[in-house]
Chains A and B, each alone.
Chain A
Amino acid sequence: MGLQFAFEAETQHSFLAGVQLQIQETPLIAFCHQCQAEYYPQIGIQYACPDCRSPMEDIRSGRELKIDRIVHCCLNS
């Protein structure tokens, strides 16, 4: 994955060498206004609502690009 590769390339030989990037993927979830229900579009195949065939209008999850948390462990001498 591009982000993982870039992170490793940018941190090696720096003070961040060895730092791990954990990517948490969020599923694509859409909301159908017609059915008032969430559904999982099939990426690349079908985005319309599987029940009523309404086009995908609202994305409820899957577009996030967030830094969730930073965890740092160090030896205290």
Chain B
Amino acid sequence: MHQTFDTAIGMNLLHANQEGANHNRAHFNTWGITCLNLMSSPGAGKTAVLEKTIQSLHSHMTIAVIEGDMTTELDADRIRQHGVPVIAINTGRSCHLDSKMVAGGLHRLEQDHDPTGFDLVLVENVGNLVCPAEFAVGEHAKVGLLSVTEGEDKPLKYPIMFLAVDCLLITKIDLIPYLDIHLSHIIANVRQVNPNVPILPISVKTGEGLDDWYTWVKQAVHQFSNRPFTRHS
């Protein structure tokens, strides 16, 4: 005779991650740290933007970086050369950072440093336009990067990513003259899924637009850390 076990679960698998993200956020708030989560496809320029940002803002505020990479520490090594603490998280088979991995990173930060001495933690997520958008890590704001070489249609193909971001950097704009793309088309496609997000076209190569980005970061830190920067120069 057959006995059947049938039970309704209705469990949302992302809730567990969200609870971890809330926990991380509470730590950031206690420490007075603003956390930004940088997300893009591989090669859009996250590490290059981080390097420039650290160079420019390091004299104003104290920065630490959490580097998500599937297997290597190549990006972490690049960032370490700029004299800021870098916590490298190898995600292994996972194509995104989740809140539990970042919690592990925060424990390491706490062990090696006084976390209240930081203003800003920049998280460099794994290069991927799909999964990172679904997994909050406790950040105060999500920053997306889209390089002009990726094509105008990417906001339409990966709408959840572009819907999720609180600031979008369009990178490598110095290459536009060599491509059959129009900045206005990219922006129009972003606007279909995120009508109000600040869109900042930048070039790390020429420096164009970077001041607007630095201003956005400073405003975010003012808003979320809720105290003066640790350095005043």
Contacts and interface: CB of A to CB of B under 8 A. Distances in A.
B6 A71 contact: yes
A57 B156 CA distance: 14
A48 B1 contact: no
B156 A47 contact: yes
Given A44-B156, A76-B1, A55 B12 contact: no
Q: Is the interface of B mostly helix, strand, loop or mixed?
A: mixed
A67 B2 contact: no
Interface in B1-30: 1-14
A41 B13 CA distance: 25
Interface residues of B, number: 26
A65 interface: yes
Contacts of A56: 159, 163, 192-193
B195 interface: yes
Contacts of A68: 8-10
Given A47-B159, A72-B5, A66 B13 contact: yes
Contacts of B157: 44
A66 B12 CA distance: 4
Given A56-B159, A64-B12, A66-B13, A46 B192 contact: yes
Nearest to A41: B159
B7 A76 contact: no
B13 A71 contact: no
Interface string B185-216: 00000011111000000000000000000000
Interface in A26-77: 41, 43-48, 54-57, 59, 63-76
Nearest to B162: A47
Interface centre among B12, B191, B192 (most CB of A within 10 A): B192
Contact of B160 (A55, A63, A76): A63
Interface of B: 1-14, 134, 153, 156-157, 159-160, 163, 191-195
26 contacts: A41-B159, A43-B159, A44-B156, A44-B157, A45-B156, A47-B159, A47-B192, A48-B192, A55-B192, A56-B159, A57-B195, A64-B12, A66-B11, A66-B13, A67-B9, A67-B11, A68-B9, A69-B7, A69-B10, A70-B6, A70-B7, A70-B9, A71-B4, A71-B5, A73-B4, A74-B2
